[in-house]
Amino acid sequence: MARNSRGEVNVLSVNGGSSSLKLWVYAMPEERRVASATVNIADQASELAGFIDTLERDGMGIDAVGHRIVFGGASHTTPELVTPQLLEQMQELIPYDALHLQPELDAVVIAQRHVPNVPHVLCYDTAFCSRMPRIAKTYPLGDEFGGVSRFGFHGLSCEYIVSVLGASGKTVIAHLGNGASATAVLDGHPIDTTMGFSPLGGLMMGTRPGDLDPGVLLYAASELGYDNATLRKLITDRSGLLGVSGSSPDMRTLLARRATDERAALAVDLFVYIARKQIGALAAVLGGIDTLVFTGGIGENSGEIRNGVAEGLRYLGDIDVRTIPTDEALSISRHVHALLSARTART
């Protein structure tokens, strides 16, 4: 594994979303962040090339690249080196989460083109919750749904939070942002989580409804005439904070409007109510909560939301409530460095 003059490995972490590509460079194993950028997904090829050119002009080479992949399914539960065969396998998983997987895999191909001749590694957001107990992963469905399971998401975020807290006690990690989930962790191990088969379930989110009675979708199909494409649009882009408020998926905007906008107020209150209710369910699974961690864009930045959620959990007794900024990029860099170090040690 190549190292620079300081004995470090520069790992580029790539997080490809539906509208932007977030880039970080960490010098490992010192875990020193040395560069970062956010680029528009529509121009990701040229902007990534520009970012790499800037690094090279500054004398900073890239020794490895790690990619956040939201869905790995049941077969991909540890970081893996990118190969043509692996990319073919990932293409087969796109129907499980087309919203995230397609742009993420596109970003992998583009990154390989602009950062060639170095290892690229896929790091899966579902890997952390793959270690949940069987009962927490099982849906009450028949044999024809054998490939359907509760996979869980935000795993790279949870891994980072556990690394900060240490692996002890009963913890709930509330990752609250445009995508939101809560995960029950016992002594560092995942026990249950609010997201399930897809990132659409669980808590209310920016444009996603979270848990929804399946009868609502049957009604939309039979009585409102929604086809599959319209249903997909409804539950990915038109529900959640946006759907309830009728105006915005952005919590900051809704908080600013809540005093004069009844629908904005309802959206905020419903977000808090559902988060509190589902965290309470995770408390039942854990047998109590020692530590409640807020992270993610809303969790880290909105004291009003944190207080609203935590206030309703006082009945659980003395809980250590903490706010910890997450660092998924560092989780990725750690995985990449560990994988490549292990491969080097075997050769």
First-to-last CA distance in the chain?
Answer: 11
212 burial via Cβ count (<10 Å: 0-12, 13-18, 19+): middle
* Rounded to 5°, angle at Cα 245 from 244 and 246: 95
Whole-angstrom Cα distance, residue 25 to residue 167?
A: 27
Determine contact, residues 152/193, Cβ cutoff 8 Å. Answer: yes
Q: What is the DSSP string of 290-340?
A: SEEEEEHHHHHH-HHHHHHHHHTTGGG---EEEE----HHHHHHHHHHHHH
Give 19: exposed, middle or buried? Use CB within 10 Å, 0-12, 13-18, 19+. Answer: exposed
Catalytic residues: 125
Place of tokens 């009604």: 219
Amino acid identity, position 24: W
Whether the ω angle into residue 190 lies within 30 degrees of 0, i.e. cis, is no
Q: What distance in Å separates the CA atoms of residue 267 and residue 251, rounded to the nearest whole number?
A: 9
Does residue 118 contact residue 64 with C-beta atoms inside 8 Å? yes
